[in-house]
Structure 1
Amino acid sequence: MSAMIRVEVVYALPQRQELVEVRVAEGATVRQAVEASGLLEKYPDIELDRRNKLGIYAKLVKADTELRDRDRVEIYRPLIADPKAVRKKRADEGKVMKKGGGSADEEA
């Protein structure tokens, strides 16, 4: 019988965080730990092959990555807005405010 390792599987929601500790066989993959956690059944919106990315301690990994004892597997939710686009929009709005002190559409 192979040795067992202990890992945590985490899924953060906007209002709360689900943390499940699981024991899996040594050599288990990230996908196997997520499946053993029961989070896929509890949250059917998790789609490992399409929407959700996976990580170990904030570093992106593939689902077939082999786990080590005491790893923390994280299931990431998809972004709702592109951070670059949001920053650009905020910067553009700031430039308009600096030039005229009001919106660009208003004229005195």
Structure 2
Amino acid sequence: MIRVEVVLAWPDRAEARQLELADGATVAAAVAAAAIDGSEHCPAVAVHGVLAKLEQMLLDGDRVELLRPLLADPKDNRRKRAGVR
């Protein structure tokens, strides 16, 4: 058995689930087992901050992060703060 954490964060809150899964469990299995509301709208996942594929096998202690879609282009935001058009 392995223990993993699945996390989904919003600007005002975060939800996390601690799971015990069978050895050889994948990112997809962890996301499904966590059943966090809104996870179906997340276009990507990361393991410890590194983009991961759904078929990637997990190790004991891994943290799976559900990545929400960007609401704004980071480059445009930096340009606005810098006053550049």
> TM-score with structure 2 length normalisation?
0.88
Q: Which has the higher contact order (CA 8 A, sep 6+)?
A: 2
Match of 1:76 among 67, 72, 75: 67
Q: Which position in structure 2 is the counterpart of 1:106?
A: none
> TM-score with structure 1 length normalisation?
0.71
Q: After TM superposition, give the deviation of residue 89 of structure 1 in Å.
A: 3.1
Q: How many residues align?
A: 85
Q: Which position in structure 1 is the counterpart of 2:80?
A: 89
Per-residue displacement from partner, 1:32-90 (whole Å, max 9, x unpaired)?
00101121xx33x633xxx4210011111111110000100000111111111222233
Kindly indicate which of the two structures has a greater share of residues assigned to strand. Answer: 2
Identity score, percent: 45
Q: Which position in structure 2 is the counterpart of 1:13?
A: 10
Q: Which position in structure 2 is the counterpart of 1:25?
A: 22
Q: Which position in structure 2 is the counterpart of 1:60?
A: 51
Extract unaligned runs of 5+ from structure 1.
96-108
Q: Which has the larger radius of gyration?
A: 1
The one-letter code of the counterpart of 1:74 is: E
Runs of 4+ with >6 A deviation: none
Provide the secondary structure at the position in 2 that maps to 1:23: strand
Kindly indicate which of the two structures has a greater share of residues assigned to helix. Answer: 1
Match of 1:38 among 28, 35, 38: 35
The one-letter code of the counterpart of 2:44 is: K
RMSD: 1.8
The one-letter code of the counterpart of 2:20 is: R
Extract unaligned runs of 5+ from structure 2.
none
1:76 & 1:30 partners in 2: Cα distance? 13
Q: After TM superposition, give the deviation of residue 94 of structure 1 in Å.
A: 5.6
Q: After TM superposition, give the deviation of residue 15 of structure 1 in Å.
A: 1.1
